[in-house]
Chains A and B, each alone.
Chain A
Amino acid sequence: MPQLNPEFFVSQLFWLAVFFTLLFVFLWRVSLPRIATVLEKRQNKIDENLSSAKELQEQAMEIEKKINDQINKAKLETDEKIKETINALQEDVSTQLSSLDKSLEKKVSDAEKEILKSKDEQMKNINNEIAKITKLTVGKITNIELSDNELIKIIETHKGSFN
């Protein structure tokens, strides 16, 4: 077995020592710190991104909350406004209705008064006309000149039997 031949033991040990030491020092001083920096850098980046993501999420939640608050506020406000408007309109309608009622009533009563007044007037005119006609008729038929006062008296007494 060549492994047990001591001829090259010293050579093997010497070169092993040389190369392993070289490897160890190189890895220790150069390669491993490099990889470590890369890993650290990546971890930092990940942490940074995670924390910024968290921050953004919090901000988003805050904004959402604000939006909801404002929506609720706006809803309340609109509700109140609607109620107010409805109340105002109702009041307006009722006042207008009552004023309309009043004016209508007034107009009706005015009209009634007018009617009564004109009826009276007409009645008076009719009486006068009757008196005139009667005076004319009586004058033509009988040639009796009746004075106006007499005529009116007669007409007044017979008024009921004309109707």
Chain B
Amino acid sequence: MAAKDSPLKQFEIDPISNIELGGYNISFTNSSFAMLITVLVITLFLTLTVNTRSIIPSRMQLISELMYNFIAQLLSDTVGENGKRYFPFVFSLFMFVLIGNMVGMIPYQFTFTSHIIVTFALATVVFIGVTILGFVNHGIKFFTFFYIPGVPFYMHPLLIPIEVISYLSRPISLSVRLFANMLAGHTLLKVFAGFVVSMPFFTGVFPLAFIVALTGLEILIAFLQAYVFAILTCLYINDAYHLH
């Protein structure tokens, strides 16, 4: 357990209401609350801004359309025509991670994307889904994905295990990337926030100024990581359609 003023204290989970189901602890926690807020923000924003369905959009409607077009473009660029079927999933994933990160940027608000179990679960859903998709599209031939054509035959004993390992480590790299970015950013903010308090006289403004700049950077990273998560999902989907 982290100490009282540890920078990691912000990642601690506090149950809001204790719920138990079939012997499992499924308490509604501050993390669940952040997820609830995220889902509410996304659904309300996307619903209310497009409520009028006007041909000439309001500014808010324009934001929703921009999001839509952004992910649609991403999918069509990476996967092509086949990608349209996965649009709702990739869009949900992107929005969930993005708004989850952004909600985490609100002071005293919990960041659920800084929890490896959450990001790993999301990455695993993508990984399993893409693997099933690969087998559905190519059957047993999907295993040729690990065989790299145009390489000298004696390299294969080396390359095939590497390919298998890299494929299997996809969910880990996908989840750890997001988790580590969020963890590092929020920890750093907290560390410098501690400096603001502990430094003598007015010198606390320097770490404060740094926090302001870092917050800007964190918002950028929040967007960037959501984008990376989405684009990697798209690339994996593409791999499930097109073997080498």
Contacts and interface: CB of A to CB of B under 8 A. Distances in A.
Interface in B52-111: 53-55, 57, 61, 64-65, 68-69, 87-89, 91-92, 95-96
B8 to A, nearest CB: 6
A150 interface: no
Interface string A14-25: 111101101110
Contacts of B183: 3
Interface in A28-44: 28, 30-32, 34-39, 41-42
A2 interface: yes
A31 B47 contact: yes
B121 A16 contact: yes
B38 interface: yes
Contacts of B15: 8, 11
B42 A3 contact: no
Contact of A8 (B9, B29, B46): B29
Contact of A11 (B1, B26, B95): B26
Contacts of B1: 2
Interface string B1-42: 110000011011101000001001111110110011011001
A27 interface: yes
Given A15-B32, A19-B39, A32 B115 contact: no
Contacts of B8: 1-2
A1 B65 contact: no
Interface in B166-190: 179, 183
Interface residues of B, number: 52
Contacts of B46: 27, 31-32, 34-35
B211 to A, nearest CB: 22
Contacts of B47: 30-31, 34
Contacts of A141: none
A16 B25 contact: no
28 contacts: A2-B2, A2-B8, A2-B9, A3-B183, A4-B116, A7-B13, A8-B27, A10-B25, A11-B28, A12-B121, A13-B117, A13-B121, A15-B28, A15-B35, A16-B35, A20-B35, A20-B92, A23-B96, A24-B89, A28-B92, A31-B43, A32-B68, A34-B50, A38-B53, A38-B55, A38-B57, A39-B69, A41-B53
Given A16-B35, A34-B53, 13 more contacts: A7-B25, A8-B29, A10-B26, A11-B24, A12-B117, A19-B38, A28-B92, A31-B43, A35-B50, A38-B50, A38-B53, A38-B57, A39-B65
